[in-house]
Amino acid sequence: MDLTSLLAKAVQQHASDVFISVNSPPMVKVEGIMRPIDPDAPPLDDQENNRLIYSILNDRETKNFEQTYELNKSLNVPSVGRFRVNVFRQRGEPALVARHIEDKIPSIESLGLPETLKELIMAERGLLLVVGGTGTGKSTSLAAMIDYRNANSPGHILTIEDPIEFMYENKKSLVNQREVGMDTLSFDAALINAMREAPDVILIGEIRDATTMKQALSYAETGHLCLATLHANNSNQAIDRIINFFPEEAHKQILLDLSLNLKAVISQRLCAGHDNKRVAVVEQMVNTPYIADLIEKGRVDELKSAMEKSGGRTCVTFDEALFDLVAEDKISQEEALRQANSQVHCFSGDLAAPGVPADHPFTSSGNLDGGRSCHLLSGRQQIDWLT
């Protein structure tokens, strides 16, 4: 048994992830459910476990892993596919998780994502965040958006990833992809030099700290469209997490920068569809004048209420998206209630309340986005979500 044959078998089973760990048989995750790749496979002993894992590491990667106990890499297995691999230590032994990455980048339509994302990805400038928990489809959705821009607008798209996941073909745009550890020594080094590479669009694989966040805001402020992922469950948590990257004395400036440069926060979850295929549930917080005003004033706890009151014109909450999926018969009402933040809001029918408090200065615009139109709640389909 070797790792490449295990990966091939996992792909045949439509697995999203493969797990290698001592004292356990090789495991896979299919549609979010964990199971052995072979029900008759015995647990791996430490010798077999190490052999499988080290078989895909070169000398540099082996040295790096043994020094840091952490390693991220991309792996291409001919005739099988590409994988995002994380190697780590647990109980003193190496372990591995490999996530399968589709060779063909899916379209926004095939993923059933809102049409609004096409408008957002074609923006000239701003910060666009795609957030969600691990394994909720952030990378897949972001890849679909970037490839839409690639196919429809000339320009230079620069990605900084750890590791590279989806491979883009040059279409109307030139796409340069930099992998940490292979094309640059660190995220910081790549971010510092990004401005000298004349990008129109910059993708930061993940924002993990204050330094990366400041760079992302700086790119948006200087007229670039900056895309990034962030681990947060919803729009409110995303803004809170960004603020908490920084010391308290910096909060006022960061809130101002966010209010001026944030384009939107797209939050994503996956829930079970009727045929056990996972369905994307997408929350959209577009940075309207009212949303920007709340962010600047630090009234983050009021963002959810403001989104609910938009009536789907500019913002869509998770509960509204769930309601829409039930109406389209993509998921059951029971699944929607299980996933809902508020069962009352999800099925009360009160999804189109007035937009903004009457005394707010932005009410005179007649809508929340100051006149811009957003086409929300597009048809959603059930697909195999892998990242």
pLDDT digit string, tens, across residues 27-51: 999 988 999 999 999 999 999 999 9
Digit-coded pLDDT (tens) for 145-158:
999 999 999 999 99
CA atoms of 23 and 107, how far apart (whole Å): 40
The yes-or-no verdict on residue 70 having pLDDT over 50 is yes
The yes-or-no verdict on residue 359 having pLDDT over 70 is no
CA atoms of 291 and 302, how far apart (whole Å): 9
Strand partners, 297: none
Predicted local confidence at residue 202, as pLDDT: 98
Predicted local confidence at residue 383, as pLDDT: 40
The yes-or-no verdict on residue 7 having pLDDT over 90 is yes
**Region 288-311: what's the mean pLDDT?**
94
386 pLDDT band, cuts 50/70/90, is very low
CB 376 within 8 A of CB 310: no
**Region 133-148: what's the mean pLDDT?**
94
358 pLDDT band, cuts 50/70/90, is very low
CA atoms of 324 and 332, how far apart (whole Å): 11
215 to 189, 205, 209: CA distances (angstroms): 11, 13, 10
Domains and CATH numbers, the chain: 3-101 (3.30.450.90), 116-365 (3.40.50.300)
CA atoms of 269 and 137, how far apart (whole Å): 7
DSSP H helices in 79-185: 116-121, 138-152
Residue with tokens 């491979």: 167
Digit-coded pLDDT (tens) for 111-134:
989 999 999 999 999 999 999 998
Predicted local confidence at residue 244, as pLDDT: 97
Residue with tokens 């320009």: 155
Predicted local confidence at residue 115, as pLDDT: 93
Q: What is the pTM of this model?
A: 0.82
Digit-coded pLDDT (tens) for 225-267:
999 999 999 999 999 999 999 999 999 999 999 999 999 999 9
Predicted local confidence at residue 167, as pLDDT: 94
374 pLDDT band, cuts 50/70/90, is very low
User: Average pLDDT of the chain?
Assistant: 88
Predicted local confidence at residue 313, as pLDDT: 72
